[in-house]
Amino acid sequence: MLRKLLFRQAPRAYRFLSTQSTLPLLSKCSVFSYCSSSRPEIPPSNSIEHLEDQPTNTISIDRSGLCSPPEHSHEPSSDSELVKHLKGIIKFRGGPISVAEYMEEVLTNPKAGFYINRDVFGAEGDFITSPEVSQMFGEMVGVWAMCLWEQMGQPKRVNLVELGPGRGTLMADLLRGASKFKNFTESLHIHMVECSPALQELQHQSLKCMDEENTSEGVDKRSLSTLAGTPVSWHATLEQVPFGLPTIIIAHEFYDALPVHQFQRGSRGWCEKMIDVTEDSSFHFVLSPQPTPATLYLMKRCKWAVPKEVEKLNQIEVCPKAMDLTSTLAKRIGVDGGGALIIDYGLNGVVSDSLQAIRKHKFVNILDNPGSADLSAYVDFASIKHSAQEASDDVSVHGPITQSQFLGSLGINFRVEALLQNCTDEQAEALRTGYWRLVGDGEAPFWEGPEEQVPIGMGTRYMAMAIVNKKQGIPIPFQ
């Protein structure tokens, strides 16, 4: 069946893309020595300052509107609305915000978040994702989903969920590739979990949807994709996706955008890095003088790690939302059946200091002009595994394996050979380039074009992990 699927679909047109609380448990963990309420010692890094004592009460900030009173000044301000909003939060709270809160505001603020009102993908955007590189990526993910569906016993109704679908390219290629397998496509109800209205519209176009009347609670939009005659619904959160059906979840380059908390080790122990405003009204890093609520997640992460793994690090990133999301996925899969596929760049271990900002395919300072660049961090796959295993005894976790291994085992080599038999020279060049970017390691050896456009392989930098219901056995290709 795999071979039949790989050779079935004709190539589509190609486009060349450039490469460009209080904490009562703290005393119980002997691993940690925490910052006292007195002024901590200044660390070696001169880019971070320590804070004097700050109030420990937390304040819930309503960020639904960008409303913060302006500074009393007769001089015009050049700050963007998002910058004013961030400074307003810090000023109103009387202290700094966490890196995670900064990251969440920058990316998903309802009015000025990076992802909310623009198309940030592709050669003309700020970064390129695997589905934008080649149709083969979405097709291979479709092969994986179909194989899992068969292991599930070919249920008549299945929820197919994609988290953060971007332009909808992956799902569109998946449906095109699987369109001849009617038993599979007719079982699907697609659920796109997307908070950006602008991207929802792009996804609607990519899936060639026709709208239909729908008044279901929690569903923003329901349509029918003409690519495979499949119903499609949009939701702002995963919790809005209906329960009670076997569910296949795809999370491609989704975890890396979840907000991370950063901790730095000093002579007094681990302190959380925070973001404050200097006297000249610019953003800078400071260290919390005492434990923060996120320290509980740091404790949990270090509990899962080998002691030597933590001892050698001076900085650690933890992603509470990734842990909580994984727990939610695992519980749903454990009860309803199905599985989740997570593909992202990251490490199979504790992540140190990986947060980065990308604007127009170039790295920039993460505090520079917030809202104008994408923020992302390495995914801690070991943390995902432990989170899933703790959440449900009814799921099993497989991987991570490299993206190259994942795609290769699913038959991408056969697929590229089939596509090369029926394409123009220009399409063949795009196919070879796309193939290398998906499975290669480093610079492509065959490249003869401009040096600044040499394809860089993502085959070993990206990894794949699966969480599935134990009743279904080991999923392909993790055997």
- Residue 140 clears pLDDT 50, i.e. is over it: yes
- Give the residue, 214 or 318, on which the prediction is more confident: 318
Whether 387 shows a pLDDT value over 80: the answer reads: yes
Residue 98 lies in a domain: no
- Cβ neighbours, 10 Å, residue 279: 5
Q: Which two tokens stand for residue 94?
A: 């009387």
What is the three-class DSSP state of 251?
A: strand
Q: Is 127 a residue whose pLDDT tops 90?
A: no
CA distance 243 to 230: 19
Q: What is the mean pLDDT of the chain?
A: 83
Res. 250: pLDDT tops 60? yes
Whether the predicted pLDDT of 280 surpasses 90: no
- The pTM (predicted TM-score) of the whole model is 0.81
Q: What is the pLDDT of residues 151-161, one digit of tens each?
A: 999 999 999 99
The predicted pLDDT at position 37 comes to 41
Query: How do strand 338-347 and strand 379-380 relate by DSSP bridges?
Result: parallel
Query: Which residue is associated with the tokens 């007195």?
Result: 38
Q: What is the pLDDT of residues 78-123, one digit of tens each?
A: 678 889 999 999 998 888 999 999 999 998 888 877 876 655 454 4
Which of 44-48, 368-372, 407-411 has the highest mean predicted lDDT (pLDDT)? Answer: 407-411
User: How many angstroms separate the CA atoms of 377 and 344, rounded?
Assistant: 10
CA distance 288 to 270: 9
pLDDT tens across 251-276, in order? 999 999 899 999 999 877 899 999 99
360 occurs within a structural domain: yes
The distance between the two most distant Cα atoms of the chain, rounded to a whole number of Å, is: 71
- Let me know if residue 79 belongs to a domain: no
CA-nearest of 217, 247, 208, 209 to 235 is 217
- Give residue 125's pLDDT: 46
Residue 41, domain member (yes or no): no
Looking at residue 198, its pLDDT comes to 86
Q: What count of Cα atoms within 13 Å lies in the side-chain half-sphere of residue 148?
A: 29
Q: What is the pLDDT of residues 422-475, one digit of tens each?
A: 889 888 988 999 999 999 998 888 888 888 788 889 999 999 999 999 999 999
End-to-end Cα spacing for the chain: 18
DSSP conformation class of 373? S
Any domain includes 329:
yes
Give the per-residue pLDDT at 213: 66
Do 126 and 356 contact (CB within 8 A), yes or no?
A: no
State residue 11 phi and psi, 5-degree precision: -70, 145
**How confident is residue 184, by pLDDT bands cut at 50, 70 and 90?**
very high
Model pLDDT for residues 330-357, shown as the tens digit of each residue:
999 999 999 999 999 999 999 999 999 9
Of 151, 148, 196, 139, nearest in space to 11 by CA: 139
Does residue 406 lie within any of the structural domains?
yes
> What is the domain count for the chain?
1
Q: What percent of the chain has pLDDT over 90?
A: 61
pLDDT, greater one: 52 or 142: 142
Domain with 232, as residue range(s), is 130-211+222-258+318-472
**The pLDDT of residue 221:** 62
pLDDT band at 211 (very low <50, low <70, confident <90, very high): confident
Residue 313: the pLDDT is 94
pLDDT (tens digit per residue) in 300-319: 999 999 989 999 999 999 99
CA pair distance 217, 240, nearest whole angstrom: 9
Q: Tell me, what's the pLDDT at 49?
A: 53
Measured between alpha carbons, how far is 354 from 93 in angstroms, rounded to an integer?
27
Q: Is 5 within the bounds of a domain?
A: no
> What CATH code is carried by the domain that includes residue 416?
3.40.50.12710
Asked if residue 94 is part of any domain, the answer here is no
